[in-house]
Structure 1
Amino acid sequence: MTDAPRAMRGRPRVGSPSLLEEAAFELFLENGYAGTTVEQISTRAGVSRNTFFNYFAAKSDVFWVGLDASIDRMAAVLDAASADTDTDDGVTPIELLRDALLDVADRLGPSDVPWVLTHFELIGSTHEVMASAIGRATRLSNVIERALGDSAPAAVSRSLSFACVAAVIAAMTSWAEAGPDRGSLAAHLERALSPVLAGFTAL
């Protein structure tokens, strides 16, 4: 009898982050988060431990593949919008920010909810997971604050960026809790974001 073919190890595959994410979630369901190691995730995905760390700085980063991509997209959209502000078309910074946030949110459909939001009872309130979430929130806040530039005093821009991040977190939570008929993130975000932006209409 011939041995079953083994996955190549030590060489990144196309889509390795997704493979590692899928392997991690399978193992978290089997062993729990704390009971799963990076080595086990790498082995399940058929890659080396070094390959894992080519894509992720820590085990908890596998929770945020889609969110990291969305923050990258958000930064690109806002950078592009900021570059166009010299053409005075009457669009305010608040309107640019709202449009950019909702544009990115509209690309996230029902199946794009971060796995950790629907399985948090399995993960538990671990410091590592919470720290990785806070890191993403801080990054998004920095993206928003940078995009606002000098359109408002620094303290106001910082307040707005923090408020927008809070709205995003609230929207993502309600989105995750809405079940399979949740639709895209955009509708949830618009409800959470509108009262926040209404308080900064002078910008």
Structure 2
Amino acid sequence: MSSTGRAGRPKASSRETLAEAACELFLERGYDATSVADITQRAGVSRSSFFNYFSSKSDVLWSGVDERIGLATRSLELLGRTATGAAVRDILLLVVRDFAPDPLALALRNAAAMGLEDELVRDTGLRLARLSQAVSAAARTAGIEIIRADILGAAHAAAVLSALRVWAEQGAGLGTPEVVLKDALGAIHDLPWSD
């Protein structure tokens, strides 16, 4: 496999090229029928280059959201005892703020064509659990009892991931996920942060 013309490629460009190649192949062949080797061949990079950017095939879809969830988790931890519902919601809005159409949005919109339905359910569940735990921990640190904190965590995490899904399915160019998330967070009004 030759990488002629690829030397000196900027990091972001290689990452984007790999993601683009993966999405093309997922649409053409389906997720299960596409290998990492197929992706690297299409992108014109080595297998080791793939693993410099992504830990797995599914990471191609989730890496942007995972970075944002990681930042949100750290920000939630920093709230400490001063965590309020408003502060938590502001942090969660950052997960979707300025979110541009990306491989995940494409996958959510084309899940059936890409053969990704089961993969997305499983992978969404992992992100849901991670974000839910972070919100719940912030609530417990702020003095909220554990069951209420867990319910708040699950509801807020579901709002974030559901907002991304709905935004992508509606057509990522038709609005912003931030607007969808604000509506979703409004639906949690029956679960106030405090009594």
Normalised by the size of structure 1, how large is the TM-score?
Answer: 0.79
> Which is helix-richer, 1 or 2?
2
1:121 is matched with 112
1: distance between equivalents of 2:107 and 2:67? 16
1:148 equivalenced with 2:148 (yes/no): no
Change (3 A) 1:162 1:36: same
Q: Secondary structure at the match of 2:174?
A: coil
Instruction: Identify the residue that residue 102 of structure 1 maps to in structure 2.
Output: 93
Structure 2 unaligned segments of length 5 or more: list them: none
Q: How far off is 1:40 after superposition?
A: 0.9
State the shift of 1:43 in Å. 1.8
- 2:60 corresponds to 1:62: yes
In the other structure, the counterpart of 2:161 is 169
Distance in 2, matches of 1:4 and 1:180, equals: 33
Do the aligned partners of 1:61 and 1:132 also contact (CA within 8 Å) in 2?
A: no
Question: Between Structure 1 and Structure 2, whose CA radius of gyration is higher?
Answer: 1
- The alpha carbon displacement at 1:75 in A equals 2.1
Structure 1: 4+ residue segments shifted above 4 A = none
Tell me which residue corresponds to 2:179. 187
Sort the Cα spacing of 1:125 and 1:108 in 2 relative to 1 into closer, same or farther, 3 A: closer
1:62-84 per-residue CA deviation (whole Å, 9 max, x = no partner) reads 1112211221232243234x058
2: CA distance between counterparts of 1:4 and 1:177? 36
For residues 80-115 of structure 1, give each alpha carbon's deviation from its aligned partner in whole angstroms, at most 9, with x where no partner exists: 4x0583xxxxxx621111111123323224x35622
The total of aligned residue pairs comes to: 191
Unpaired segments ≥5 residues, structure 1? 86-91
Conserved 8 A contact 1:167-1:193? yes
- Secondary structure at the counterpart of residue 174 of structure 1: helix
Matches within 5 A, 1:126-137: 127-137=118-128
Which residue number in structure 2 is paired with residue 89 of structure 1? Answer: none
TM-score, length of structure 2 as denominator length: 0.82
Name the aligned partner's letter for residue 194 of structure 1.
G
- Distance change (3 Å), C-alpha of 1:182 and 1:197: same
- SS of residue paired to 1:114: helix
Which residues of 2 match residues 17-36 of structure 1 at below 5 A? 17-36=15-34
> Pairwise CA RMSD of aligned residues?
2.8
Report the CA distance shift for 1:100/1:108 in structure 2 as closer, same or farther (over 3 A): same
Is the alpha carbon distance of 1:180 and 1:76 closer, same or farther for their aligned partners in structure 2, counting shifts above 3 Å? same
> Aligned with 2:37: secondary structure?
helix
Letter in 1 for 2:6: A
